[in-house]
Every structure is written in C-alpha cells, then in structure tokens.
Amino acid sequence: MLEMVVSTLTQGLIYAFIAYGVYITYSILDFPDLTTDGSFPLGAAVTAVLLSKGCDPYLTLAAALLAGALAGFFTGFIHVKLHIRDLLAGIITMTALFSINLQIGGSNLIIPRTTDTIFSAAPTMAVFGGLSLLYRKLIVVCLLALIFKILLDLYFSTKSGLLLRAAGDNANLVTALAQDKGRVKILGLVISNSLIALAGAIVCHEQRSFSATMGTGQVVFGLASVIIGISLFRKLSFVRGTTAVIIGSILYKACISAALSLGLPANLLKLVTAVLFLLVLVFSGRRGEEIIRA
Amino acid sequence: MLEIKNVTKIFNSGEATEHRLFQDFELSVEDGEFVSVVGGNGSGKTSLLNIICGNLPIERGDVLIDGKSIAKEKDFVRCRRIGRVHQNPAMGTAPNLTVLENLSLANNKGKRFGLSFGINRRRKGFYCEQLADLGLGLEDKLDVKMGALSGGQRQAISLLMASLTPIDFLVLDEHTAALDPKTAEVIMLLTDRLIREKKLTAIMVTHNLRYALEYGSRLIMMDRGTVVLDKKGDEKARLCSDEVFEEFNKMSIRVSDGELN
C-alpha cells in the first residue's frame, strides 16, 4: 500500500511538468496547444537514444529541454508568422513529431539495466544512496519539480514573465507597450514545450523505456491537472498557480492509480483518463470555452 | 508634427463591395494641438486612427511623424511614440493582473522586457502619486486586480498607462462612449488635465459634439472620408454649438439622400 502511495506521488510529480507546460499555454497564454502529445514523447525519444549511447544522464535532461523548445518554437512560428490557427498549428507539429520521434527512437526503445539513469548515477547515489530505488525516485523527482516550480515563479515575476501573463490576458496591451505579441506567444510555447519534453525525459529515466505512442492523451492529462488544481484553489489567492497544478497532477494520478488497483484493465487507461477529464470539466463548472483563467 | 499625406484607403479592393473611403486624404496636426474629430458612422473617423496607429494598411500615401515616414512600421513599433485609449475600458489594461502590475508594465513601455524583476517596489510611491492625481481614490488599490475595478476606474488607469512614459501622440478612440454620463464627464476632465499637464499632442474621436466643442484646440468634422469642417484657435473658440449641429445635420441629410439613390 505504502509502495503504491509513493509511486503514485512520484508519477504525479513527474507529470507535474506537463501540468506546468499546459498551465503556461492554456491558462496564462490562452493558447490551446496540442503540441504536447508530440513534445512529450520527443523528450523521451531524445533521452532514450542519448542514454543508450552512453551520454551523461543529467545532460539528457538538458537535451530534452532543448528538443521541446524547438517543437514549441515550430508551433509558435507557424502560428505567428504563417498565420495558422492556434489549434491547427499544434496539430501540425504534433503529427510531424510522431514521425520524427519514430525516426529518433524507433517504435520502442528499452534502456538496459546496466545503463545509469538520473536515479542511479554516481552523483545521485552519493547523496541519496542510502535510500531504496523507490524512495530515491520520489526524492529526485520531488527536488526537480520544486526547482522548476521556483524557477517558474521567479520567471513570472520578471518583466518578461509579466509581459507573458499580460499577453494571455489582453494581447492588445502587449502591442500598446510597443512589444511584438507574436514573439511573446512564441516564447510562451517554447517554455511550455521544453517543460513538457522534460516530463517525457524523466518518464524515460523512470521507466527505462521509450515508446512512440506514449504521447497520446498527455494534453488531456495536463489540462485535467491544471483544471483540478486551479478549481481547488480558486478561492485561495495566496496559492500560486504552479503549486495548484502540482497538486492537481498528483490528485489526477491518484485517481488513475486507484482505478487501476480496483482491477481496471490497463488497456482502458486512456478511456478512464478521458472520462475523468470530462467529469472534472463538468464538476468544476468549466466547460472548456473560457479555459481556466489563472 | 503628424502628417497624413495623399492617403487612399479602399476596402474590399477589386470586389463588388469595393468601397473607397479615403481619396488623397490630407491632414496635419501640429505639436501641442488637441484635435477633436466628429462625424457620423462610416465617416472614417476610426479608420483614420487605425491608419495612424498602423492597424489598417493603406493603398497609397504616407503617414509621417516629425517628417519621418512611419507608414512601413508595424503597429507595435509605432506604439513606442503613440499612446492609445480605446472605447472599451477592458482594451487598455490586463484584467487578471493587479493595478501595480499593470502600471509596472506601462512604465516599461518601449523598453526591453527582460529577466529583471517586473515590479520595482521603489516606484510604488510614484504610482500612488499618479493614481492619487486621478482623484478617484485609486491610490490604495495597487494590489487589486484590474478586472475588479469599475469601467470608469479602468478607463482612468488606461489613460494614465497610455501617457505614463513620454509619447508623441495620444490617440483617444471614443474613450468616453462606453461610460455613464457622469463618469464620462470625469474621464473627459481628466483627459483634458493630463493633456495640458504633460503637454501632449492628442487626437480624440468622439460622438459627443459638446465634448468636441468644449475641449481641445481644434475641431474637425468628417463626412465620407473628407474633412467638411476644420476650425482651430480663436475660430474654434467662437464656434457655437448651433453651427456645428447645423453642419452635422446637413451631413446626415446627405447620408440619407445617398441611401435613397
């Protein structure tokens, strides 16, 4: 039982990175970005290949961030410069990424047991070597999620971060401030998708595998986390958006793992994900038109 | 000085619904002038503002500020020197950001939005002063979300934000039209004071003939893309409302004649 709680918590914290990304695009920028389903496995594919080539496990995280940034930039570029509608721009990138991911990692890639991951590499072992793998995973993931939460909170308080928040709130104001709102959008998509690719990278470290289909439904997962988080803490204005979405992500993973432990076949996982999302939308009183204003 | 030279604007060019709004339109505004523009619907008032601000492309002609053409500059580039207040109070501010955050953004207009802290606590005193100057009791609302304020309060802050940094032009696009008469009056007085104190050059489009007469140093009446009345200085001061109304009515009759044909 305890084991299940720990692994659910770990999952929730890993997928919190998707929630961060989706929070930036859907909630702050008001941009329904579907790149997620492609950038998440992209991060995993890049990581899997680098790991199997013997690359430093920590470096793979940076590589995944960069790969995700490129994916986000592409969506932003075709939306802003080629005037493709936001939803379509995301769909185009997502579709293209499916093939790109296959090119990078094949349909499946297993990382051998002998390869070190961020959970078993020497620096991690030096600090947390006394813990079992299960707890080591939790503590490493928890640290990563916290570090990025703090970085994001700091970013939102900078001039650039403030402008990003203004862009989603009232794009017209960005123009009035003599700034290019297209550039602000691209920046938001770059940050969002690099975080989502990082989630894919961490999942790859954790599962020691990559599969081309692992991206399916991730945007739904991210949205559900964000909506659960934001709805729960709507009345408590001192809770930051980033905190709210971490908790949303953990709760959502908890629901899914509860369903699985009650005997739900793993094949029905995405169905449960979708139904749960529907329930969240209905009961939070948000039907998805005005998506989750933070 | 703002110059609009030989501007031609055609809507739906080449289609059956082609509509030529401006043909070789000319207008110049001297530094320090406060121009009120009146005219019926479709007379080209708002299009004129959009052409100045770069929201509407033109077929021919040029727009110059201090002799330099800005016709090829994108809208956000032009905004470095232009402040604009819209009819809808929601257009000028970010509703989910606090008053302080909104003012901090406006304070950085035209500069780089980098990774330094967005809110400079030491500027708080300055913002409070500016808000107190508006006389609407907004000075203790710095940490309130903009969306929680009334339309009039938001419009007053939009006005302040548009003119917080030095600008060459203040563009007012029917900025009192969405407010109740009493609030509109307050905003109008405030506008007049800001323009005088900051010595701004301003263009105000309005449907309110009384405002156009009472405020500003020049009055322009437009009809179907042309200037039909242009009075400034003493001439404008002597202008009485009857004259303007008469001219306005003639224009309205012309419009309905046009529709009959």
Residue B200 within any structural domain of the chain: yes
Residue B238 maps to a domain: yes
pLDDT in tens, A134-171: 999 999 999 999 999 999 999 999 999 999 999 999 99
Q: What is the rounded distance in angstroms from the CA atom of residue B44 to the CA atom of residue B58?
A: 13
Cβ–Cβ gap B110/A178 under 8 Å: yes
Q: Is B239 left (phi over 0), alpha (psi -120 to 50) or beta?
A: beta
Using CA coordinates, name the residue in chain B closest to A181: B76
Query: What does each of the 261 residues of chain B score in pLDDT, given as a tens digit?
Result: 899 998 999 888 888 888 888 888 999 999 999 999 998 888 888 899 999 999 998 988 999 988 889 988 999 999 999 999 999 999 999 999 999 999 999 999 989 999 999 898 888 999 999 999 888 889 899 999 999 999 999 999 999 999 999 998 999 999 999 899 988 999 999 999 999 999 999 999 998 888 988 898 999 999 888 888 888 887 877 777 777 777 777 776 655 544 443
* b/e B245-254 (16+ beta carbons within 10 angstroms → b): eebbeebeee
CB of B109 closer than 8 Å to CB of B163: no
Q: A90 φ, ψ to 5°? A: -65, -40
**Cβ contact (<8 Å) for B109 and A178?**
yes
What confidence score (pLDDT) does residue B18 get? 85
Report the alpha-carbon distance of residue A69 to residue A189 in Å, rounded: 8
- The whole-angstrom distance between residue B35's C-alpha and the CA centroid of its chain comes to 10
Domain count, chain B: 1
Quick one: how far is CA A72 from the chain centroid? 12
Does residue B258 form part of some domain? no
**Domain containing B146: what range?**
2-250
Verify whether the Cβ–Cβ distance A155 to B80 is below 8 Å: no
**Other CB atoms within 10 A of residue A264 CB:** 15
For residues B56 and B4, the answer to whether their CB atoms sit within 8 Å is no
- Residue B205, phi then psi, degrees to nearest 5: -90, 130
- pLDDT greater at residue A294 or residue B21: B21
- Residue B257 maps to a domain: no
Q: Is B106 on the interface with A (CB under 8 A)?
A: yes
- B118–A176: do the CB atoms touch at under 8 Å? no
Establish if B233 belongs to a structural domain. yes
Question: In this complex, do A177 and B109 lie within 8 Å of one another by their Cβ atoms?
Answer: yes
Q: Which residues of B touch A163 (CB under 8 A)?
A: 105, 113
Which of B94, B101, B110 lies nearest to residue A170, judging by beta carbons? B94
Give the whole-angstrom CA distance, residue A255 versus residue A174: 40
pLDDT at A251 over 70: yes
**Beta-carbon count within 10 A of A235 CB:** 7
Task: Kindly state whether B189 is in contact with chain A, defined as any CB-CB distance less than 8 angstroms.
Answer: no
- Residues B114, A163: C-beta atoms closer than 8 Å: no
| Rounded distance between C-alpha atoms, residue B136 and residue B146, angstroms | 14
Mark yes or no for CB contact A170/B95 under 8 Å: yes
* Bridge partner residues of B3 (DSSP): B28, B64
Do A170 and B117 count as a contact with CB atoms less than 8 A apart?
A: no
First to last CA, chain A: 35
State the Cα–Cα distance between residues A231 and A292, nearest whole angstrom: 8
CA-nearest of A43, A7, A16, A5 to A145 is: A16
Of A159, A174, A179, the CB nearest to B118: A159
Question: How many residues are listed for chain B in this entry?
Answer: 261
- Residue B32 domain-assigned? yes
Closest CA to B191 of B207, B209, B173: B173
Query: pLDDT tens, B27-41?
Result: 999 999 999 999 888
Q: Which amino acid is at B174?
A: E
Q: Counting beta carbons within 10 angstroms of the beta carbon of residue B198, is it exposed (0 to 12), middle (13 to 18) or buried (19 or more)?
A: middle
In Å, how far is B260's CA from the nearest CA of chain A?
39
- Contact between residue B241 and residue B210 where contact means Cβ atoms under 8 Å apart: yes
Q: Kindly indicate the confidence band of residue A286, based on its pLDDT and cuts at 50, 70 and 90.
A: low
CA distance A271 to B164: 53
Residue A160 is nearest to which of B76, B114, B162, comparing CB atoms? B114
Q: Which residues of B touch A234 (CB under 8 A)?
A: none
The CA distances from residue B257 to A264, B222, B243, B261, in Å, are 75, 17, 21, 6
Contact A199, A40 (CB under 8 A): yes
Measure the CA–CA gap between A135 and A171, rounded to whole angstroms: 44
Query: pLDDT per residue over A93-143, tens digit each?
Result: 999 999 999 999 999 999 999 999 999 999 999 999 888 999 999 999 999
Amino acid at A280: V
Task: Indicate if the pLDDT at residue A220 is higher than 80.
Answer: yes
**Residue A33 pLDDT level (bands cut at 50, 70, 90):** very high
Q: Would you say residue B255 lies in a domain?
A: no
Q: Does B97 touch chain A (CB under 8 A)?
A: yes
Q: Which amino acid is at A118?
A: I
Give the DSSP letter of residue B21: E
Report the percent of chain A where pLDDT is more than 70. Answer: 97
Domains and CATH numbers, chain A: 2-283 (1.10.3470)
Q: What CATH number is attached to the domain comprising B75?
A: 3.40.50.300
Residue pLDDT, tens place only, A168-183? 999 999 999 999 999 9
In angstroms, what CA-CA distances link A290 with A31, B41, B174?
11, 33, 28
B167: in domain: yes
Contact A174 B76 (CB under 8 A): yes
Residue of A nearest to B107 (CA): A177
The residues of A whose Cβ lies within 8 A of any Cβ of B are 155, 157-163, 165-166, 169-170, 172-181, 293-294
Confidence at residue B91, expressed as pLDDT on a 0 to 100 scale: 93
Taking CB atoms and an 8 Å limit, are B115 and A158 in contact across chains? yes
Highest mean pLDDT among A69-73, A213-217, A232-236, B244-248: A69-73
